Each structure stands twice: as structure tokens, then as C-alpha cells.
Amino acid sequence: MEENTRKGVYRIIYDATNKKWNIKKDGAERIIDSRKTKEEALERVKTLSENQNTKFVVYKKDGKFQKKK
């Protein structure tokens, strides 16, 4: 199977205005999903990244880098 699409990286970023954790993929204009807790967002992004064989990056509430997987 030939793969023509470029894989992006998922990012979990805290939105202080809406008090939610947003999941966004590099290059995407829209937010893919929003969750109330970081743990919920992490579970969701793990599923997305496994299904699409991509990586993800997690940020702290203050916007600083936390971890990459």
C-alpha cells in the first residue's frame, strides 16, 4: 500500500479560557477533540496516534513541554 499523506504530530494543549484540554494535529485548522481532564485527553490521543501510527506531544498547563511519545 502506498502512503501519500504526510503524518502529523498530535498535541495536547490546555485552553485556559475554556478550561479544557484540546487535541490538535499539526497542520490542522480545527481542534480534533476537547476533554475536561488531561487524563481523558491523553487516553483519546493515544488511541488516535496508535490508529494512525503517529506520535504525540503533551504540554503542561503553563504551555511548557511535558513529554513526547
Per-residue pLDDT tens over the stretch 11-65 = 999 999 999 999 999 999 999 999 999 999 999 999 999 999 999 999 999 999 9
5 versus 50: the higher-pLDDT residue is: 50
State residue 7's pLDDT score. 76
CB 43 within 8 A of CB 58: no
On whether the CB atoms of residues 24 and 33 are closer than 8 A, the answer is no
What residue spans define the domains of the chain? 10-64
Question: Model-level pTM?
Answer: 0.84
C-alpha cell at 60: 503542561
- Max CA distance (Å), the chain: 43
CA 5 distance to own-chain centroid: 18
Three-state DSSP state, 19 = coil
Please tell me the predicted confidence (pLDDT) of residue 6: 54
For residue 68, what pLDDT is reported? 84
Please, are residues 12 and 55 in contact by the beta-carbon 8 Å criterion?
A: no
